[in-house]
Amino acid sequence: MNSAALFSKTPPLKLFFLASVPGAVSMLASALYQTIDGIFVGRYIGETAFAALNLAMPFVVINFSLADLIGVGSAVPISICLGKKNRNEACNIFTCSCLMIVGTGILIGAILYAAAPAMIRIMDAEGDFAVFAVQYMRVYAICSPVTTIIFAVDNYLRICGYIRSSMFLNILMSVLSGVLEFLFLAVLGLGIWAAALATCSGIFVCAVLAFIPFFRKKTLLRFCRPRFNGGMIRQIIACGSPNFLNNIAGRITAILMNAILVRLGGETAVSVYGVLMFAEGFILPLLYGMCDSLQPAVGYNWGAEKYSRVRAIEKYCFVASGAVSLAAAAAMAFSPELITRLFMPEAGEDILRMSVNALQLFSFTYLTRWFSFATQSYMLAIEKPGPASIISVSTAFILPLILIGALWPLGLTGIWLNFAGTAVLAAVLSAIILYRLRHELNKADAVG
């Protein structure tokens, strides 16, 4: 079945399972390499290297953020153009976006490589802690031009109906990265730079494989002579800005958190924060995969003015996101020691006690986090980047910053509670935005 028929004719529940299940598995697999990274670095290089990895990771994510801005930002107008039967414009946006991603990869990679030592010094890291973090960042910087496009091409494959192919490629990426990292760290005994190189190698191989259908002209989207224009670029930036702002704001918050943790608890507190982030790495990809994989279908039907199908698809998205989040909250609340030992098998009593307490408090985050996540995805899919950006920036930066001040007297406990407090406030904000959208649509239906 071609993508147009899949999005427009498949019953909503069946479409949800056809798109969201492979999408969730795909995103979980693509994020799994980061978890494997943390496990292998902690086990084979040690706690200092594990802390350094967590110190460097926000900067690595920022390196990918501009590519994600273009990839996600182009996917929405491409889907809507296809819904309006304007294939030529969809192909032009696709081609221009690929060129823009490679160009930004070169630019941002060069900046990250040059600025890495200064960035780590700002964090007050010293000795091997700082050296390891710089080594890790610089490998990603060098590989940036050939790796950052992976997240964009994943969106393009799903738009073209290659949902299972996208899933298998992401699984392959995690397997390749894991095998190479085990070889480099466990067998050859190389340093933290090799962990980054293993991951980048897996990403590069899968990026090349992902583009084969496009070069063979077997997809709905095809390369064409690019026609850049200001309107198209502004549209891409507007539609991609919620995810971009979420990435940037979230990484700025993570950098700030790390700086505070270094002062409050040193390497130990940074390592515990890393455990929380890696635990989250199992959950957010599932939510992102379910919601993001449905965006092409939602955008297509929104462009075709089939609003009842849009609402039906989103209903399943919200329900499934809630179920996954509640299950994740229970797992973290009842198995905190097991999760900690996964990343730090030799953890002492002090770090284990701190991590167990942090994970149990962190688990409350997912009682409400799913609601704002699904709402943000919905707003983005129907080309409403304003509300999506408000949710994004509030969740990733504004609300955590406010709560850092409000919960400061609680010390480290206040840092761990910050996530749950942010999730509750973001859910309230999202409910207000959804209420206003419903009011607007009801008004439009009455006029029509």
Q: Residue 339: what pLDDT? A: 86
Nearest to 30 by CA among 165, 172, 184: 172
The C-alpha atoms of residue 9 and residue 11 are separated, in whole angstroms, by 6
Least trusted range by pLDDT, from 27-31, 137-141, 292-296: 27-31
Q: Are 403 and 361 in contact (CB under 8 A)?
A: no
DSSP for 156-171? HHHHTT-HHHHHHHHH
Residue of higher predicted confidence among 6 and 182: 182
Q: Residue 99: what pLDDT? A: 93
- What sign for the dihedral angle of Cα 248, 96, 153, 136? negative
Q: Residue 442: what pLDDT? A: 64
Q: Residue 135: what pLDDT? A: 92
Amino acid, single-letter form, for residue 327 = A
Confidence of residue 312 (pLDDT cuts 50, 70, 90): confident
Can you tell me which residue has the tokens 């930002």? Answer: 73
Query: What value, to the nearest 5°, has the Cα angle with vertex 215 and ends 293 and 140?
Result: 65
- Read off the tokens for 442: 């009801």
Domain ranges of the chain: 8-442
Q: Residue 443: what pLDDT? A: 61
- Read off the tokens for 200: 């980048």
Q: Residue 31: what pLDDT? A: 67
Q: Residue 208: what pLDDT? A: 92
Q: What is the pLDDT of residues 168-227, one digit of tens each?
A: 888 888 889 889 999 999 899 898 999 999 999 999 999 999 999 888 887 888 898 999
Q: What is the 3-state secondary structure (H, E, C) of 185-196?
A: HHHCCCCHHHHH
- Does the reported pTM lie above 0.75? no
